[in-house]
């Protein structure tokens, strides 16, 4: 591998793009989106190079860059990527140019909007790549600010309420996580303070301390997922955010919580993780069923998709806390799958809102006769979100359910009901919006999606098919890293990872 600092470059490219956008002359607003899209495409190219050069089969961190900042405290710039974070970096780099390309409806303070999006991208990439806990926390906090402004300035009528609620929920969790980071880092390894994640894997943390630290980290991550009952900020944020904000919120931001649980809670506090599996599994299953039931009764299609995220992320949490190879692989893959399908759904909702300025399902009906391409795209993505075989959602959910059944069969059976309920709320919404006669006269004049909108959707639709038919490249990259996490759990606890063919799986 080259010594070129590719990971630092991936983080800095959006920042450079944001600075360039902010320096554009105010009299040339038409340049803002093209320049910001170009900057995000360069970042996507760097992430694509990372995907190609990543060494398949290596369970450790690759492309590592490490520079000591303050050796007395063990603080430094330490970034790296493994199979768990690789696909999330690629997903992030993909969704931002798509979101920016879908932002032509932003008409005021366009420079600030594009700059906020690019700073947000840098913060998210920093979270996925950081291996120093203090640097991780800095990026974690930094990405909240642009997201707060994206919702609060360019959102809907209740945007300020939604932005404040989003910020307060996350800030509360962040304060607890910071306390946990300081307690863990200052205790360090063998009495020497360090905030380096890799070094802290060798720390001797007592069982009682693991519980407290698991709670401090876990609550912050649970709010971000969001795990039931910390989900109440999510629907408001989704509904009020502009289209690109919703795409990034669902596609990437929600993954930060699950990523944190997998990266830090399972690896640093394995004894607490094993003991608390029943608690997390119960919350995951409640989230699956509750999110799906609430989605069924929604009259606003955007709020319906928002609650579907609560349900789908419940599957991811269940897979991770099954503590099986299949469950963890399915959880990581489903993070990516959810980003693709829900991102596409929010784009489609934004497209119809631009035409009708309403998201009420009752205001539609019969749209397939006037918008056949739009109707076909919506149904296609709905099938993927439901988990139709041959599309990406099936692979992730299948691995999650297989893995969770090995360790937590009762939870897996109940969680599987979420698949059925997903078909209910998505297909029923599709039926009410697209079939039957046109009953609202305004809908007769609606134009179908054009070339620009098809091109925006095309990468997501293509990946939905590719990962549904041939998920092997993704799973080959994920498997060694999740097995490394499970090996650590087995080596540091009495837990035995359930395997196919065992007579009795550990609870």
Q: Write out pLDDT tens, residues 355-410.
A: 888 899 989 988 999 999 999 999 999 999 998 999 998 999 999 999 999 988 99
DSSP assigned state of 59: -
- DSSP helix/strand/coil, 388: coil
Q: What is the pLDDT of residues 316-348, one digit of tens each?
A: 999 999 999 999 999 999 999 999 999 999 999
**Helices and strands counted in the chain (H then E):** 22, 2
Short-list 52, 51, 137, CA closest to 89: 51
Residue 360: Cβ within 10 Å count: 11
Strand pairing report for 62-70 and 75-81:
antiparallel
Cα–Cα dist 56/2, whole Å: 16
- Predicted confidence at residue 504, as pLDDT, reads 45
Closest of 82, 40, 43, 47 to residue 61, by C-alpha: 82
**Can you give the pLDDT of all 507 residues of the chain as single tens digits?**
457 899 999 999 999 999 999 998 877 778 889 999 999 999 999 999 999 999 998 888 999 998 988 777 778 899 999 999 999 999 999 999 999 999 888 888 889 999 999 999 999 999 999 999 999 999 999 988 999 899 988 887 888 888 888 888 888 888 889 999 999 988 877 678 889 899 888 888 888 899 999 999 999 999 888 888 888 888 888 888 898 988 998 889 889 999 999 999 999 999 999 999 999 999 999 999 999 999 999 999 999 999 998 899 999 999 999 999 999 999 999 999 999 999 999 999 999 998 888 899 989 988 999 999 999 999 999 999 998 999 998 999 999 999 999 988 999 999 999 999 999 999 999 999 999 888 888 888 899 999 999 999 999 999 999 999 999 999 999 999 999 999 999 888 888 888 765 434 443
Residues 109, 61: contact at Cβ < 8 Å? no
Residue whose entry in the numeric block shows the structure tokens 């490219």: 13
Residue 465 makes CB contacts below 8 A (sequence gap 6+) with: 390, 391, 392
Residue 63 three-state SS: strand
Instruction: Look up the pTM and report it.
Output: 0.93
Match 């919006």 to its residue by tokens.
433
Q: What is the pLDDT of residue 204?
A: 84
Q: What is the pLDDT of residue 506?
A: 41
Tell me, what's the pLDDT at 17? 95
* pLDDT given for residue 500 in this prediction: 65
8 Å CB contact between 172 and 223: yes
User: Cβ atoms within 10 A of the Cβ of 207, count?
Assistant: 11
Q: What is the maximum span of the chain, computed from C-alpha positions, in angstroms?
A: 73
**Closest listed residue to residue 484, CA positions, set 262, 284, 322:** 262
The pLDDT of residue 290: 93
Residues 405/319, Cβ–Cβ less than 8 Å = no
- Distance (Å, rounded) from C-alpha 422 to C-alpha 461? 19
């Amino acid at each position: 591998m080259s010594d070129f600092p590719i990971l630092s470059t991936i983080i800095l490219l959006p920042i450079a793009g944001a600075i360039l956008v902010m320096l554009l002359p105010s009299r040339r607003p038409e340049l803002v989106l093209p320049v910001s899209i170009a900057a995000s495409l360069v970042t996507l190219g760097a992430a694509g190079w990372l995907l190609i050069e990543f060494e398949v089969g290596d369970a450790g961190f690759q492309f590592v860059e490490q520079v000591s900042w303050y050796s007395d405290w063990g603080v430094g710039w330490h970034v790296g990527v493994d199979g768990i974070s690789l696909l999330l970096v690629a997903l992030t780099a993909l969704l931002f140019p798509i979101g920016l390309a879908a932002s032509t409806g932003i008409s005021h303070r366009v420079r600030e909007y594009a700059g906020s999006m690019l700073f947000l991208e840098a913060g998210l990439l920093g979270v996925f790549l950081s291996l120093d806990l203090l640097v991780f926390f800095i990026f974690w906090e930094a990405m909240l600010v642009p997201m707060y402004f994206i919702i609060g300035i360019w959102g809907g009528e209740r945007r300020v309420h939604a932005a404040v609620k989003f910020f307060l929920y996350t800030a509360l969790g962040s304060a607890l996580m910071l306390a946990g980071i300081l307690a863990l880092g200052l205790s360090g390894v063998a009495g020497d303070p360090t905030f380096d994640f890799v070094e802290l894997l060798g720390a001797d943390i007592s069982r009682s301390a693991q519980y407290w630290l698991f709670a401090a980290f876990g609550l912050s991550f649970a709010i971000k997922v969001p795990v039931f009952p910390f989900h109440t900020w999510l629907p408001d944020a989704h509904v009020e955010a502009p289209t690109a904000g919703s795409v990034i919120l669902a596609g990437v931001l929600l993954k930060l919580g699950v990523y944190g649980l997998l990266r830090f809670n399972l690896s640093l506090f394995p004894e607490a993780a094993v003991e608390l599996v029943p608690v997390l599994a119960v919350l995951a299953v409640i989230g699956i069923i509750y999110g799906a039931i609430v989605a069924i009764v929604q009259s606003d299609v955007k709020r319906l998709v928002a609650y579907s995220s609560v349900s789908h992320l419940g599957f991811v949490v269940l897979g991770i806390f099954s503590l099986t190879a299949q469950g963890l692989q399915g959880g990581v893959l489903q993070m990516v799958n959810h980003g693709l399908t829900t991102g596409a759904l929010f784009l489609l909702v934004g497209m119809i809102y631009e035409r009708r300025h309403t998201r009420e399902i009752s205001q539609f009906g019969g749209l397939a006769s006037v918008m056949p391409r739009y109707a076909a795209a919506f149904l296609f993505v709905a099938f993927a979100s439901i988990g139709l075989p041959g599309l990406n959602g099936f692979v992730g959910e299948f691995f999650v359910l297989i893995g969770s059944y090995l360790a937590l069969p009762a939870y897996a059976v109940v969680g599987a009901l979420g698949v059925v309920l997903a078909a209910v709320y998505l297909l029923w919404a599709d039926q009410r919006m697209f079939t039957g006669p046109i009953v609202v006269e305004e809908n007769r004049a609606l134009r179908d999606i054009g070339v620009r909108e098809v091109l925006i959707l095309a990468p997501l639709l293509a990946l939905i098919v590719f990962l549904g038919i041939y998920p092997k490249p993704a799973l080959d990259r994920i498997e060694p890293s999740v097995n490394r996490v499970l090996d650590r759990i087995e080596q540091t606890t009495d837990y035995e990872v359930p395997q196919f063919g065992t007579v009795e799986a550990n609870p």
